[in-house]
Structure 1
């Protein structure tokens, strides 16, 4: 009975944050309000009980990533070689932490914000220095939303020690290889100003959480399918609400009908693959529904451009993984047998 109640409260929390985050993002006057919706959803899906310290650390990690990325572009923009050394070192550290399964969510969110700030803050005509203060303001509302959500739908789970996750058996040359791979993508985005494809790059970084070669392939394939589905749903939703996006009750009703079955599948599914797929679908929907739905006719184009960019990036990683020796699965079997 207690477990059923906990799952119901978890369902309510995730659904509440998704709806309030998306509607709040569209009602806000922020230039780029996706922090309110995206980070709220990511945080609420990663917290099973309210912990003020953990929440503040998570928001602090986001702020640190933004500041570090902005400092890198502002101070070292005349020294690209030094920039590359710093970014490469950061990616090596990130992949090492991922392979040790150490605070993967915090590490990912730091990297997400660092890459976002360094890419968007590097343009000559960028006003990112001003926008970053807006992001700090949005994170304040993220904190309020998460706190209020746990007050409305509390969790009675007792604080338990974190389970020790098995470290991935990744060799150092693989860490350096993929760190260099991520660096090449970062340089490509910086040189060719591919801001429109940033979230494809973010999806690529997210693949390395856990850093298992076989699971990496699975996640890459799932990302192609799920993000195509998410972009298709977002495009249809934008067409159905064409010219009526300011109708808050109608938008809220549409979002509820969309997300109730997805959140239900996420919460009540036991399989790790199903949980990953549904969590990816939720985050894959939140971004286009926040950024593109106000663009009216251009929303359809933006949604499918996003899907194509993610497919392109995932296709590259799948091609590279196919060229590398397939040793991870056999090693894992040997570990289980031992």
Structure 2
């Protein structure tokens, strides 16, 4: 009974099912078929233009951050090391999904192998969690810099930054591991077609003819625990930061000190707001049109990688100065 009910749950995928896969049960299909944005196939070329532009901006912006920090010894400090980590965590999830999306839009290249699908799923989830962890590390850096400025250089030595980075990587790698492992154990029925532009965990999960409750519960636990735990640590850091700021003697000093946190707060909003909306809508927005859900998911893929280098490029004077020097040097 459970098997039949779960196959019916995936019934909204049936209009896209290939004729030769109807009624077939199979384990570990050789390929999945990604549809891009179902229902808007005629507009795929036009939709690809902003997607391609945003991806190009994200790649250029984040590689610029990495290049400037590497090139300038004066930027070799904890804040900028964490910024480089954030740039890498922005690049990997978008690079693991957007090129495939563009190949669907431009060349109708919809097939993705089973192994590549699970690999894409793992890297996307792993680096998404890593992004959140890096923001927590950056909040800790702001806390030490503002609340304990005399101990900042001693607390956040290079060795401490490396340990924090390893902890962020290990946590994200471990938390993302159950997604492909559980998906590999399932049997799949009726179709191997995913009405999305990447191998999203929920999309693959709904194709299974197995009890997927464990995977579903784990996905919700992962989402709420990561956002909840990381949000708690960030909130605690900023509680201490605000208390320290309010103790400063002058308004100008308070504004100047708080201004050093604006970039980080904007980066947090750029990541968490689209992530939370996308995840909750995909889980609970059963009456929302599919193409709307996919557009919301695309926001999560592209907006943070685009906004993060812009935010830090505009708000961080050291990066502005180095970028200006770079272009001025080329012109001369």
TM-score tier by shorter-chain length is: under 0.3
The TM-score with structure 2 as length reference comes to 0.26
The TM-score with structure 1 as length reference comes to 0.26
Q: Which structure is higher in RCO with an 8 Å CA cutoff and minimum separation 6?
A: 2
Q: Greater share of strand residues, 1 or 2?
A: 2
